[in-house]
Amino acid sequence: MARKKTLYNPELGAEGLYTEVWKFELVKVKNITDLPVMNHYWQDTSDKLWGDFDDPMENVRRSFEAYREHSGYMTPDSIRHLRNQLNMSISEFADTLGINFSSLKQIENNQRVQTGHQEILFEELKNKWQGDGNHQ
pLDDT tens-digit map of 38-53 = 999 999 999 999 999 9
Count of domains observed in the chain: 2
Q: Does residue 87 fall inside a structural domain?
A: yes
CA torsion 76→81→82→83, rounded to 10°? Answer: 90
- Count CB neighbours of 76 within 10 A: 21
**Residues making up the chain, counted from first to last:** 136
CA distance 73 to 116: 9
Q: What is the pLDDT of residue 134?
A: 58
Q: Does residue 69 fall inside a structural domain?
A: no
Specify whether 95 is located in the same domain as 51.
Answer: no
Q: Does residue 65 fall inside a structural domain?
A: no
Q: Does residue 61 fall inside a structural domain?
A: no
CATH number at residue 114: 1.10.260
Q: What is the pLDDT of residue 106?
A: 97
Average pLDDT over the chain, rounded to an integer = 94
- Where residue 132 falls among pLDDT bands split at 50, 70, 90? low
Q: Is the dihedral of CA 28, 32, 36, 38 positive or negative?
A: negative
Specify whether 94 is located in the same domain as 49.
Answer: no
Whole domain around residue 35: which residue ranges? 4-55
Q: Does residue 66 fall inside a structural domain?
A: no
Specify whether 50 is located in the same domain as 92.
Answer: no
CA distance 39 to 58: 8
**pLDDT tens sequence across 9-39:** 999 999 999 999 999 999 999 999 999 999 9
Specify whether 50 is located in the same domain as 8.
Answer: yes
State the average pLDDT over residues 116-134. 87
